[in-house]
């Protein structure tokens, strides 16, 4: 099993080396807002929305000045906009009150913020602050189970399993390998097994 996992990770690294997040952002706060918006929404849609939002409200102060009603109007295309607006407003308030308007780099502090779970905190920790982390989104969860990299019924189980088989210094990069492979090839429905660089060794491949 370990040899198979190592080979799968090697191929993913060779295929997606240098992969970066699809979300567009210019600050830690913009990234945090974008990841909150990305729940149950594609990164492409989030980027379309933040192109409108960030030019007028890209700091905690400006978010609060904008207000929840106007924020909801802008982020509505991302879905669940009532909850997401409430979370972003609440996060902006806490950042101003407790962190001088700055996004904390500590994982334990991040997950205290409204709308910030393990996935969001791991993304911000990894991308904004360059700390090793594996964020388990739907793509990472699906691929980890399909490839037998980390079998788990919950994102946390998968995250802990991946941490055991991937060297710590590659956690953040591996997160992006899996995401891009899930987007481009190993889709939830009708995965492109014929085009997959893993199709000869993948335990779930439809072609052998």
Q: Catalytic residue positions?
A: 119, 137
Annotate the chain with three-state secondary structure. Answer: CHHHHHHHHHHHHHHHCCCCCCCCCCCHHHHHHHHHHCCCCCHHHHHHHHHHHCCCCCCHHHHHHHCHHHHHHHHHHHCCHHHHHHHHHHHHHHHHHHCCCCCCCCHHHHCCCCCCCHHHHHHHHHHHCCCCCCCCCHHHHHHHHHCCCCCCCCHHHHHHHHHHHCCHHHHHHHHHHHHHHHHHCCCCCCCCHHHCCCCCCCCCCCCC
């Amino acid at each position: 099993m370990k040899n198979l996992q190592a080979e799968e990770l090697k191929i993913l690294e060779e295929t997606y080396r240098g992969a970066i997040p699809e979300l567009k952002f210019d600050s830690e706060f913009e990234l945090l807002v974008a990841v909150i918006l990305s729940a149950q929404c594609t990164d492409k849609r989030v980027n379309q929305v933040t192109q409108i939002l960030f030019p007028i409200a890209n700091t905690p102060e400006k978010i609060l000045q904008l207000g929840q009603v106007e924020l909801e109007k802008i982020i509505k295309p991302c879905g669940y906009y009532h909850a997401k607006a409430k979370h972003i407003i609440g996060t902006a308030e806490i950042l101003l009150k407790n962190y001088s308007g700055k996004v904390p780099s500590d994982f334990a502090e991040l997950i205290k913020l409204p709308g910030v779970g393990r996935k969001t905190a791991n993304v911000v920790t990894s991308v904004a602050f360059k700390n090793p982390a594996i964020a388990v989104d739907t793509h990472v969860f699906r691929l980890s189970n399909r490839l037998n990299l980390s079998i788990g019924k919950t994102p946390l189980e998968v995250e802990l399993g991946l941490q055991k088989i991937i060297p710590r210094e590659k956690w953040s990069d591996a997160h992006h390998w899996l995401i891009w492979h899930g987007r481009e090839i190993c889709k939830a429905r009708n995965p492109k097994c014929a085009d997959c660089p893993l199709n000869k060794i993948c335990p779930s491949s439809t072609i052998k």
